Amino acid sequence: MSFARKLIAWQRRDGRRALPWQDTRDPYRVWLSEVMLQQTQVASVIPYYERFLARFPDLQALAAASEDDVLRLWSGLGYYARGRNLHRAARRIALDLKGAFPESAARIEALPGVGRSTAAAIAVFAFGERAAILDGNVRRVLARCFGVEGARAQWALAERLLPKRGIETYTQGLMDLGATLCTRANPACERCPVALDCVARRDGRISELPAPRARKQQPTRRATWFVFVHRGEVLLERRPSAGIWGGLWAFPEKALACGIRNKKRLPTLEHGFTHFKLKVQPVLCQVSARTEAPGRIWLPLRDAVAAAVPAPVKTLLSGLLDK
């Protein structure tokens, strides 16, 4: 039995069934789930996916929304460029394509924030296109099972393995295998449907394949956040669209002339990014007057917690609200 047929049989028997984006060919829902699942675990995505759909049930609703509304719902999910690109793509489809979602992997890949593998997954699940995916989990499965590494070789292998029938089940099976059995650490080889064909298992190289990337020591960046408070309201500043937390609201990183009556250093915060660590010193400043300026907004603490703010900003605001 071929690799694809084994995987299809296993997925039908033991694969994941209850994910909220399964059993639909609605391209909007498929697209939303695939974008949210980029570099994010299923358990983290599910509540965001459900809240997002409740607020934006279709592409037209998303396209009509403000970026601030979109980022507010995305807050805490991370990789915020995904949310901004999702919104940009929705508007492009609504305006340039008259609301018609593109129906091929090649055309889907042209949307903002959609790469080759994500486009293929959307085309498979929404339109039944015979297309290969190659996300991080699938790379690990192919590296171990076939002993093949390197993007070019793995893409060629992924294309060769495609079945003529059952593409949706096969693709879901690949995702399920990498996410639930062929995990990075402690893979469940005894339950794997292709264990007898696995090169890594045969050669005792499970821990070696795929070859781990050389880990670089992450640099630490430091910042000071000025938490200006006036009569139960807090000052937030919109971050530039480029860079970390682009388009979100955060605390100013420079002192402002707004009549500081009292100043207090709060406990430091640390937040990890892919390539660096951020260490923040928050400074709580009680001020005697509000300073207005473009790109800044004063909000009641409760409203600020619910705004489009990064996770550590939300954490700090929640702590102030509880006091």
Rounded to whole angstroms, how far apart are CA atoms 189 and 200? 10
Phi, psi at 262, each rounded to 5° = -160, 140
Q: Kindly give the residue spans of alpha helices, DSSP state H, lying in the chain.
A: 3-14, 27-36, 42-55, 59-64, 67-74, 81-96, 105-108, 116-127, 136-146, 151-161, 167-176, 199-202, 301-305, 311-322
The distance of Cα 316 from the centroid of its chain, to the nearest Å, equals 22
Q: Does the annotation mark 34 as catalytic?
A: yes
* Catalytic one of 34, 67, 159, 292: 34
Rounded to whole angstroms, how far apart are CA atoms 132 and 126? 14
> Is the distance from CB of 113 to CB of 86 less than 8 angstroms?
yes
Burial classification of residue 81, based on how many CB atoms lie within 10 Å of its CB (0-12 exposed, 13-18 middle, 19 or more buried): middle
The region, left, alpha or beta by phi > 0 then psi within -120 to 50, assigned to residue 78 is: left
Asked if omega into 27 is within 30° of 0 (cis), the reply is: no
Phi, psi at 84, each rounded to 5° = -65, -40
Distances (CA, A) of 222 to 33, 242, 275: 34, 18, 14
> Is the distance from CB of 140 to CB of 212 less than 8 angstroms?
no
Phi, psi at 143, each rounded to 5° = -60, -45
Find the length of the chain. 323
Residues whose CB is less than 8 angstroms from the CB of residue 23 and which lie 6 or more positions away in sequence, other chains included: none
Q: Which residues are catalytic?
A: 34
